[in-house]
Structure 1
Amino acid sequence: MSAFIAGVLLILGGAFTLVAGIGIFRMPDVFIRMHASTKVGTLGSGLILAAVAVYFQEPSVIFKVVLVILFLVLTAPIGAHMIGRAALRIGIEPWGIKKPDTAATPDKTDS
Protein backbone atom coordinates (compact mmCIF):
# COMPACT_ATOMS: atom_id res chain seq x y z
CA MET A 1 0.00 0.00 0.00
CA SER A 2 2.83 2.42 0.80
CA ALA A 3 4.40 1.76 -2.61
CA PHE A 4 1.12 2.77 -4.26
CA ILE A 5 0.90 6.00 -2.23
CA ALA A 6 4.55 6.76 -2.99
CA GLY A 7 3.89 6.16 -6.68
CA VAL A 8 0.94 8.54 -6.70
CA LEU A 9 2.95 11.21 -4.88
CA LEU A 10 5.83 10.71 -7.29
CA ILE A 11 3.59 11.07 -10.35
CA LEU A 12 1.90 14.18 -8.90
CA GLY A 13 5.28 15.70 -8.01
CA GLY A 14 6.62 15.00 -11.46
CA ALA A 15 3.52 16.51 -13.07
CA PHE A 16 3.79 19.68 -11.00
CA THR A 17 7.51 19.95 -11.74
CA LEU A 18 6.80 19.49 -15.46
CA VAL A 19 4.18 22.26 -15.31
CA ALA A 20 6.73 24.52 -13.58
CA GLY A 21 9.27 23.83 -16.32
CA ILE A 22 6.76 24.55 -19.05
CA GLY A 23 5.71 27.71 -17.23
CA ILE A 24 9.28 28.98 -17.18
CA PHE A 25 9.45 28.76 -20.97
CA ARG A 26 5.92 29.95 -21.74
CA MET A 27 5.41 32.90 -19.41
CA PRO A 28 6.07 36.39 -20.80
CA ASP A 29 8.27 38.07 -18.17
CA VAL A 30 10.65 37.41 -15.31
CA PHE A 31 8.07 38.05 -12.59
CA ILE A 32 5.55 35.50 -13.84
CA ARG A 33 8.32 32.99 -14.58
CA MET A 34 9.54 33.46 -11.04
CA HIS A 35 6.07 32.65 -9.73
CA ALA A 36 5.91 29.47 -11.81
CA SER A 37 9.32 28.29 -10.72
CA THR A 38 8.95 28.96 -7.00
CA LYS A 39 5.36 28.01 -6.25
CA VAL A 40 4.85 25.01 -8.48
CA GLY A 41 8.47 23.90 -8.33
CA THR A 42 8.43 23.85 -4.55
CA LEU A 43 5.17 21.91 -4.50
CA GLY A 44 6.47 19.38 -7.03
CA SER A 45 9.74 18.91 -5.17
CA GLY A 46 7.88 18.55 -1.89
CA LEU A 47 5.62 15.85 -3.32
CA ILE A 48 8.58 13.94 -4.73
CA LEU A 49 10.35 14.12 -1.37
CA ALA A 50 7.15 13.03 0.40
CA ALA A 51 7.09 10.00 -1.91
CA VAL A 52 10.64 9.17 -0.82
CA ALA A 53 9.62 9.41 2.85
CA VAL A 54 6.54 7.23 2.34
CA TYR A 55 8.45 4.61 0.38
CA PHE A 56 11.42 4.17 2.72
CA GLN A 57 9.59 4.75 6.05
CA GLU A 58 12.81 5.07 8.04
CA PRO A 59 13.04 7.74 10.75
CA SER A 60 16.33 9.12 9.46
CA VAL A 61 14.98 9.44 5.91
CA ILE A 62 11.74 11.03 7.10
CA PHE A 63 13.68 13.51 9.24
CA LYS A 64 15.90 14.51 6.33
CA VAL A 65 12.90 14.85 4.00
CA VAL A 66 11.11 17.09 6.49
CA LEU A 67 14.22 19.26 6.82
CA VAL A 68 14.63 19.59 3.05
CA ILE A 69 10.94 20.44 2.56
CA LEU A 70 11.13 23.07 5.32
CA PHE A 71 14.25 24.51 3.72
CA LEU A 72 12.50 24.74 0.33
CA VAL A 73 9.36 26.30 1.78
CA LEU A 74 11.36 28.89 3.73
CA THR A 75 13.94 29.85 1.10
CA ALA A 76 12.07 29.74 -2.22
CA PRO A 77 9.79 32.74 -1.48
CA ILE A 78 12.70 34.77 -0.13
CA GLY A 79 14.80 34.01 -3.20
CA ALA A 80 11.91 34.89 -5.52
CA HIS A 81 11.36 38.16 -3.67
CA MET A 82 15.03 39.11 -4.01
CA ILE A 83 15.06 38.25 -7.72
CA GLY A 84 11.92 40.34 -8.22
CA ARG A 85 13.39 43.31 -6.40
CA ALA A 86 16.60 43.08 -8.40
CA ALA A 87 14.63 42.89 -11.66
CA LEU A 88 12.64 46.01 -10.74
CA ARG A 89 15.79 47.88 -9.74
CA ILE A 90 17.52 47.25 -13.04
CA GLY A 91 14.47 48.52 -14.90
CA ILE A 92 12.59 45.42 -16.06
CA GLU A 93 8.93 46.35 -16.35
CA PRO A 94 6.21 43.88 -15.42
CA TRP A 95 4.31 42.43 -18.36
CA GLY A 96 1.11 44.28 -19.26
CA ILE A 97 1.96 47.52 -17.46
CA LYS A 98 2.53 50.40 -19.84
CA LYS A 99 4.35 53.59 -18.93
CA PRO A 100 2.34 56.72 -19.69
CA ASP A 101 3.36 58.44 -22.89
CA THR A 102 4.99 61.67 -21.70
CA ALA A 103 5.19 63.16 -25.22
CA ALA A 104 1.40 63.09 -25.63
CA THR A 105 0.65 65.01 -22.43
CA PRO A 106 0.68 68.79 -22.74
CA ASP A 107 3.29 70.73 -20.81
CA LYS A 108 1.65 72.88 -18.13
CA THR A 109 4.42 75.51 -18.16
CA ASP A 110 3.60 76.67 -21.74
CA SER A 111 0.35 78.47 -20.74
Structure 2
Amino acid sequence: MTDTIIAILATLGALFALLAAVGLVRMPDLYLRISVTTKAATLGIGLLLIGAAIYYNDVSISTRVVAIIFFILLTAPVGAHLIGRSSYFTGVKMWDKSVRDDLEGKYQKRSHELKSENSEEKDNSTD
Protein backbone atom coordinates (compact mmCIF):
# COMPACT_ATOMS: atom_id res chain seq x y z
CA MET A 1 0.00 0.00 0.00
CA THR A 2 2.82 2.42 0.85
CA ASP A 3 4.51 1.71 -2.45
CA THR A 4 1.31 2.62 -4.28
CA ILE A 5 1.01 5.93 -2.44
CA ILE A 6 4.66 6.73 -3.13
CA ALA A 7 4.22 5.87 -6.81
CA ILE A 8 1.12 8.07 -7.08
CA LEU A 9 2.82 11.02 -5.35
CA ALA A 10 5.99 10.68 -7.41
CA THR A 11 4.03 10.37 -10.65
CA LEU A 12 1.85 13.39 -9.85
CA GLY A 13 4.90 15.39 -8.78
CA ALA A 14 6.73 14.55 -11.98
CA LEU A 15 3.61 15.35 -14.01
CA PHE A 16 3.28 18.79 -12.43
CA ALA A 17 6.98 19.46 -13.00
CA LEU A 18 6.50 18.43 -16.64
CA LEU A 19 3.48 20.74 -16.94
CA ALA A 20 5.57 23.58 -15.53
CA ALA A 21 8.23 22.93 -18.16
CA VAL A 22 5.65 22.78 -20.95
CA GLY A 23 4.02 25.96 -19.64
CA LEU A 24 7.39 27.68 -19.65
CA VAL A 25 7.71 26.95 -23.36
CA ARG A 26 4.08 27.49 -24.38
CA MET A 27 3.06 30.66 -22.53
CA PRO A 28 3.24 33.83 -24.66
CA ASP A 29 4.76 36.31 -22.20
CA LEU A 30 6.95 36.53 -19.13
CA TYR A 31 4.12 37.15 -16.69
CA LEU A 32 2.19 34.02 -17.66
CA ARG A 33 5.39 31.97 -17.61
CA ILE A 34 6.11 33.12 -14.08
CA SER A 35 2.60 32.18 -12.99
CA VAL A 36 2.71 28.72 -14.52
CA THR A 37 6.14 27.79 -13.25
CA THR A 38 5.53 29.09 -9.74
CA LYS A 39 2.30 27.20 -9.24
CA ALA A 40 2.96 23.94 -11.07
CA ALA A 41 6.61 23.53 -10.10
CA THR A 42 5.91 24.28 -6.43
CA LEU A 43 3.16 21.67 -6.34
CA GLY A 44 5.30 19.15 -8.22
CA ILE A 45 8.28 19.57 -5.91
CA GLY A 46 6.01 19.35 -2.87
CA LEU A 47 4.47 16.08 -4.04
CA LEU A 48 7.87 14.58 -4.84
CA LEU A 49 9.19 15.55 -1.41
CA ILE A 50 6.14 14.09 0.36
CA GLY A 51 6.71 10.87 -1.56
CA ALA A 52 10.35 10.85 -0.44
CA ALA A 53 9.33 11.41 3.19
CA ILE A 54 6.92 8.46 3.03
CA TYR A 55 9.53 6.28 1.32
CA TYR A 56 12.23 6.87 3.93
CA ASN A 57 9.80 6.81 6.86
CA ASP A 58 12.23 8.61 9.18
CA VAL A 59 11.44 11.52 11.50
CA SER A 60 14.58 13.48 10.64
CA ILE A 61 13.91 13.23 6.91
CA SER A 62 10.22 14.06 7.36
CA THR A 63 11.03 17.21 9.33
CA ARG A 64 13.50 18.27 6.66
CA VAL A 65 10.87 17.66 3.98
CA VAL A 66 8.33 19.75 5.90
CA ALA A 67 10.89 22.54 6.30
CA ILE A 68 11.80 22.46 2.60
CA ILE A 69 8.14 22.53 1.54
CA PHE A 70 7.48 25.40 3.95
CA PHE A 71 10.35 27.45 2.55
CA ILE A 72 9.39 26.71 -1.04
CA LEU A 73 5.79 27.75 -0.36
CA LEU A 74 7.10 30.87 1.33
CA THR A 75 9.75 31.94 -1.16
CA ALA A 76 8.40 30.90 -4.58
CA PRO A 77 5.47 33.36 -4.66
CA VAL A 78 7.60 36.17 -3.26
CA GLY A 79 10.33 35.57 -5.83
CA ALA A 80 7.80 35.37 -8.67
CA HIS A 81 6.17 38.59 -7.49
CA LEU A 82 9.49 40.42 -7.39
CA ILE A 83 10.51 39.17 -10.83
CA GLY A 84 7.15 40.16 -12.28
CA ARG A 85 7.17 43.55 -10.60
CA SER A 86 10.69 44.41 -11.71
CA SER A 87 9.89 43.20 -15.22
CA TYR A 88 6.82 45.43 -15.36
CA PHE A 89 8.74 48.44 -14.09
CA THR A 90 11.57 47.94 -16.59
CA GLY A 91 9.08 47.86 -19.45
CA VAL A 92 8.65 44.20 -20.37
CA LYS A 93 5.55 44.14 -22.55
CA MET A 94 2.49 42.10 -21.74
CA TRP A 95 0.92 39.71 -24.22
CA ASP A 96 -1.13 41.47 -26.91
CA LYS A 97 -4.30 39.62 -25.91
CA SER A 98 -4.00 40.39 -22.20
CA VAL A 99 -7.35 41.61 -20.95
CA ARG A 100 -6.35 43.67 -17.94
CA ASP A 101 -3.38 45.64 -16.65
CA ASP A 102 -3.99 46.48 -13.00
CA LEU A 103 -0.93 48.74 -12.75
CA GLU A 104 -1.66 50.84 -15.83
CA GLY A 105 -1.42 54.53 -14.99
CA LYS A 106 -0.31 53.90 -11.39
CA TYR A 107 3.45 53.73 -11.88
CA GLN A 108 5.45 56.93 -12.32
CA LYS A 109 8.64 56.11 -14.24
CA ARG A 110 10.40 59.34 -13.29
CA SER A 111 9.95 59.01 -9.52
CA HIS A 112 9.56 55.21 -9.38
CA GLU A 113 6.43 55.65 -7.26
CA LEU A 114 3.59 53.21 -7.40
CA LYS A 115 0.27 54.72 -6.43
CA SER A 116 -2.46 52.50 -5.06
CA GLU A 117 -6.18 53.14 -5.27
CA ASN A 118 -6.15 54.32 -1.64
CA SER A 119 -3.45 56.91 -2.30
CA GLU A 120 -5.44 58.24 -5.27
CA GLU A 121 -8.48 58.66 -3.03
CA LYS A 122 -6.35 60.60 -0.52
CA ASP A 123 -4.98 62.82 -3.29
CA ASN A 124 -8.51 63.56 -4.51
CA SER A 125 -9.82 64.29 -1.01
CA THR A 126 -7.14 66.93 -0.36
CA ASP A 127 -8.19 68.98 -3.41
TM-score range, shorter chain: 0.7 to 0.9
Q: Which amino acid in structure 2 is aligned with residue 79 of structure 1?
A: G
Task: State whether structure 2 residue 6 is matched by structure 1 residue 6.
Answer: yes
Structure 2 distance, partners of 1:77, 1:5, is 28
Classify the secondary structure of the residue corresponding to 1:62.
Answer: helix
Shift of 1:35: 0.5
Q: Give 1:65 deviation, angstroms.
A: 0.3
Distance in 2 of aligned mates of 1:37 and 1:83:
12
What TM-score does the superposition give when structure 2 sets the normalisation length? 0.75
Name the SS of the counterpart of 1:79 in structure 2.
helix
Say which structure is richer in helix: 1
Give secondary structure in 1 for the equivalent of 2:85. helix
SS in 2 for 1:93: coil
**Counterpart in the other structure of 1:84:** 84
Q: How many residues in Structure 1 have an aligned counterpart in Structure 2? A: 98
Unaligned 5+ segments in structure 2 are 100-127
41-50 vs 1-10, greater mean Cα deviation? 1-10
Residue identity matched to 2:13: G
What's the C-alpha RMSD, in Å, of the aligned pairs? 1.2
Which letter does structure 2 place at the counterpart of 1:40?
Answer: A
Percent pairwise identity: 42
Distance 1:28 1:63, change over 3 A: same
Partners of 2:54 and 2:98 lie apart in 1 by 45
TM-score normalized by the length of structure 1: 0.85
